[in-house]
Chains A and B, each alone.
Chain A
Amino acid sequence: MSTSHLLVLQVVIPLVVAPLCILIRKQALVWYVVLAVSWGTLFSAYRLLMQVLGHGEIIYFLGGWAAPWGIEYRLDVLNAFVLMIVASIGAIVMTYAKCSIIKEIAEDRVYLFYTAYLLNLTGLYGVVVTGDVFNMFVFIEISSLSSYAMISLGRERQALMAAYRYLILGTIGATFFLIGIGFLYAMTGTLNIADLGVRIPDLENTRTVITALAFLTVGISLKFALFPLHGWLPNAYTYAPSVVSAFLASTTTKVFIYVLLRILFSIFGTTFVFDIITLDRIFLASALLAIFSGSITAIYQTNVKRMLAWSSIAQIGYMILGVSLVSVTGLLAGIIHLFNHAIIKAALFMCMGCIFYRFNTVQLSDLKGVGRYMPWTMAAFILAGLSLIGVPLTVGFISKWYLIMAAIERDWWWLAFAIVAGSLLAVVYIWRVVEVTCFQSVTTKDHPEANQPHMKEAPLSMLIPLWILVIANIYFGINTELTVDVARQSAEWLFGIK
């Protein structure tokens, strides 16, 4: 079987297995099936990435219909990398999910969660590999609809409301996206990204194309929660089950940033987007607002998951900041932060899942002295937190380093300072959690059930995946060869240097 078939199997397998889950229904069995799919697609994503790195782009015509008439799947370094991010987070989170899901989702709905999860995976994989904008829209809808369903599975009543709001806003985003590609189709008669990339430059002075760009940017920004379009995110991440928060926070937003890059760079081109329209100015302003508002708001949160959600809004700001610097280094920083933030945030949300598993709460005021019962979980939280702050020898540092470098390249000293100052805000909100959980002493009043047998470390099936991510945080912070190289290749490729 050639590797190019893997490209289509990547999407088809989770799609086919998803309905099977409904038929199987038995919790334990479904989990094994989903786990097998997750690890299987991770394996194939890895094969694909290696293939792309070694032999260049992979192109696959669905049904043998050649582009631009048929749908093509097209994999270059950038989307192979994003595919790898989604697949690896998916595999790790699924390994972790078993215990956490039983705790956080009503028993009779567990199989529905797994179904929705597989559909979500299908959608995300599809968005990433497809080379056709309409096909992209379809996959966006698949992934979005299933994520609304996953969020609504949260046990608290607010989860429904959060999912509903996300549904409304997500649908608006998708509609805008559809309007955008509609305009593009009206002007060019094609839906193939590569083909659009050839035709659009001649039509860029028309109002239709400009309006299309506006709809596309706003629609996609809404999907990845770029400040001030972040309204759906805090509640969605807070009330979703921890597994869902961990998975969505580290994959969905990344995939939509990938979509943004694809649309801006591959269809409209850098000259038009940045030199003529100067989109980078809006991005810069949004990114800075996101970093500071997100971090400062995170400081004041009382629910740790909500705090992490706000921190995500700030971190999305860093990624877009990298894009807005319009340089290879800046874009490299943005792309590498896709990966880095994925493993940081997944680890942090998984820590909260562990704590919720034992303590039934993630309200900061109820977590006094939790570190005493769960030293491994809190150690993981501290290490991932250090990475979020950007301490050297963690992945967070690598992102910050390239961002600062990109800022200095443009002689924007104030920005370099702002980036570091933003990290200091992260110190504050991470420290609040560490202080309460590790330094405040436990009183029996806080935990009437203290010293009971269930007040102990989370089960190994949760700790091991968590620690794999934590170790990845440090490993990729020291050995940066693979990630930096791939990110650099993608950034150069997007700028058309290679």
Chain B
Amino acid sequence: MISSYIHPAFILIIGGLILPLLQGKWRSILALLLPLIALVAIWSVPDGNHYSISFLSYELEPFRVDKLSRLFIIVFSITAFAGVLYCYKQASNKELSTALIYAGSAIGVTLAADMVTLFVFWEIMALASTLVVWSARTDASWYAGMRYVLIHLLGGVILMSGIAAYSHETGGIVFTAMNLESLSSWLILTGFLINAGAPPLSAWIADAYPESSFSGMVFLSAFTTKAAVYVLLRGYPGTELLIYIGLFMIFYGIVYALLENDMRRILAYSIVNQVGFMVCGIGIGTELALNGAAAHAFTHIIYKALLLMSAGAVLYTTGKRKCSDLGGLFQTMPVTCTCGIIGALSISSFPLTSGFVSKSMMTQATADGHMLVIWLLLQAASAGVFLHAGIKFPWFVFFQEDSGLRPPEAPLNMRLAMIFFSFLCILIGITPGLLYQLLPYSVNFVPYTVGHVLLQLQLLLFSGLAFFVMLPWMQRTLTISLDIDWLYRKALPKVSEMIISILSVAGAYFGTRGQKITGILSDCVMRLYGPHGALSREIQTGFVVLLVVLMLGLYLLLYLITI
């Protein structure tokens, strides 16, 4: 059964595929229109399952609309629109169309009511986002994209195994809330968490995203991790484990962002941190907390994209990413600077911005649940967010000492996109009701109470004070901070090199015969499988015949033993 409503994911994916065929004005118009059509499409569809296709012995339901999925799709399509507006003149053809396919696949994940459809879109999302990383066309982006796609394929394998096990255990593939009682749900959770940037594989975000182009990162920040937040919201609400994973992510993000010198890496770590808040909220699992997590995903996508747009504009005009090279840009880039500050205030949950109305829901949920320790940790983390993203980013990029750079203001379309998102940040901050009516559960929560506002202002004031008091320590020099990715980028090759060198030393010790053995060990794989390896080499027919006889002997032996 397929109803006449159009699936918004297909609009974006098919549109993204035909985009390269067009040129000039028509290309821009189509690219800008597609997300808007998707938005209208999702707006006009009533709740319910709209498509149903039999597949194997299951039903595929790729089009489930309810409040939760609608919320995510609205913000996904708005972001896709703003992202296209931001870069349709500057970005390459390939980047634009893969970004649209990427957005479409994230929407597909959100609308999937069964695991197989979910998996299909999940993998398209992984591949399309890799192409977005690669469209920066630098060597660094090539290698980062390689590592990125390997991690995501690993996640896909785990997810697929989980889905197969789930279907075996339950006899169906419907995607609903699960609990951690069976192997399948653990596998699926692991697959989801890898995309959310949970430990121990958090490093891929800060490894790959900053290597994308100035505009690519705007798209990247919005979809993969937030689609993961969506599936966690749907599949694992109230799973206590997620609280601790979330807390870890929050502090991991803060610590690394504070140590970082590269403005885009700061913002990448800040994604982990913010997703941590959402994961934590999902773990708490009360209606208020889940609402808070969903709302926070909504607002976060907008202000993080805004921050990355302003960072991207700086990168675009100056070509520099390191805080120590930048500074004083407010003089020539007032719009970019103002918009960046609005984004920074939002991420710090400053009252009257969007971050405040969403994050206060979550802290309230911990207070309601009498989780004192978690409440304290979240408050401390809020201060940390202000430090690393709220002040550090705008301060070092736009103010501090004058770097002498006098770049021109960002192009008009980039400015328009930033102004649009700044407007949304403040609009939601002033009229939270707009957002609250979209949330999955009904909201009786009032963000602007004296208590909330006062608490938040105190927090911000004191952490702001702390920042300027400690400015000398905050001043970043040219450093690189080590993360888990060091393990597989540097340590793994190093260790294998070391083993080989130890072996060769040992080999030398034992004489030439020992050296021979190490030599064989080191290129064992190549010898077996390589282009001139044992398997692909021309083998003598006689040898194959020998194998035949051996196999016959083996069979006979087996048969005679077993009988």
Shortest C-beta distance, A111 to chain B (Å), equals 30
How far, in whole Å, are A210 and B555 apart by their CA atoms in the complex? 9
B551 within 8 A of A: yes
B547 CB contacts on chain A under 8 angstroms: 228-229, 231
Chain A proximity mask over B47-59: 1 for CB below 8 Å, otherwise 0: 0000001011000
Interface residues on B, range: 35 or more
Tell me, yes or no, whether B402 is within 8 Å of chain A by CB: no
Tell me how far the C-beta of B84 lies from the nearest C-beta in chain A, rounded to whole angstroms. Answer: 23
- Bound-state CA distance A91–B145 (Å) is 43
Q: Is A256 an interface residue (CB 8 A)?
A: no
Q: Among the listed B120, B164, B538, B563, which residue makes an inter-chain contact with A276, where contact means beta carbons less than 8 Å apart? A: B563
In angstroms, Cα B157 to Cα A413, docked, is 13
Count A interface residues, CB 8 Å.
56
Contact between A277 and B533, CB atoms less than 8 A apart = no
Q: Which residues of chain A are near B528, meaning CB under 8 Å?
A: 293
Contact B554 A416 (CB under 8 A): no
B164 touches A297 (CB 8 A): no
Question: A300 and B530: CB pair below 8 A?
Answer: yes
B2 at the A interface (CB under 8 A): no
A90 at the interface (CB under 8 A from B): no
- Within 8 Å by CB of A215, from B56, B168, B552, lies B552
> For the complex, what is the distance from the CA of A169 to the CA of B556, rounded to whole Å?
20
Chain A residues, Cβ within 8 Å of B56: 398, 401, 480, 484
Expressed in whole angstroms, the Cα–Cα distance for A211 and B127 within the complex equals: 52
B491 within 8 A of A: no
Tell me what chain A mostly uses at the interface: helix, strand, loop, or mixed: helix
In the bound complex, what is the Cα–Cα distance between A278 and B281 (angstroms)? Answer: 53
A301 CB–B CB distance under 8 Å: yes
Interface check A197, CB cutoff 8 A: no
Say if the beta carbon of A446 comes within 8 Å of chain B.
no
Taking the closest CB of chain A, its distance from the CB of B282, in whole angstroms, is: 27
C-alpha spacing A228/B554, complex, angstroms:
12
What residues of B have a CB within 8 angstroms of the CB of A176 in the complex? 548, 552
Q: Give chain B nearest CB distance to A376 CB in angstroms.
A: 14
Mask of A157-182 contacts with B, CB within 8 angstroms, 1/0: 00000000100110010001000000
Residue A420 at the B interface, CB < 8 A? yes
Interface string of B549-563 (1 = CB under 8 A from A): 001101110111011
Q: Is residue B160 contacting chain A, with contact meaning CB distance below 8 A?
A: yes
User: Contacting B161 at CB < 8 Å: which of A278, A393, A420, A478?
Assistant: A420
Q: Of A210, A393, A404, A408, which one neighbours B563 at CB under 8 angstroms? A: A210
For the complex, give the distance between the alpha carbons of A447 and B539 in Å: 33
User: Do A408 and B545 have beta carbons less than 8 Å apart?
Assistant: no
* Given known contacts A215-B552, A300-B531, A478-B55, A210 and B559 CB-to-CB distance under 8 angstroms: yes
| Given A172-B545, A214-B555: A480 touches B55 (CB 8 Å cut-off) | yes
Against B, the Cβ 8 Å flags (1 = close, 0 = not) of A112-142 are: 0000000000000000000000000000000
Structural contact, A218 and B552, CB atoms closer than 8 A: yes
Counting CB contacts under 8 A, is A28 at the interface? no
Nearest CB of B to A421, in Å: 7
- Apart from A169-B545, A300-B531: 8 A-B pairs, beta carbons within 8 A: A218-B555, A229-B547, A229-B548, A277-B559, A281-B558, A297-B535, A409-B168, A413-B183
The 18 listed contacts between A and B (C-beta, < 8 Å) are A165-B541, A168-B541, A211-B559, A214-B556, A218-B551, A229-B548, A229-B551, A231-B547, A232-B544, A276-B563, A293-B528, A297-B533, A404-B164, A408-B168, A416-B161, A417-B161, A420-B161, A484-B56
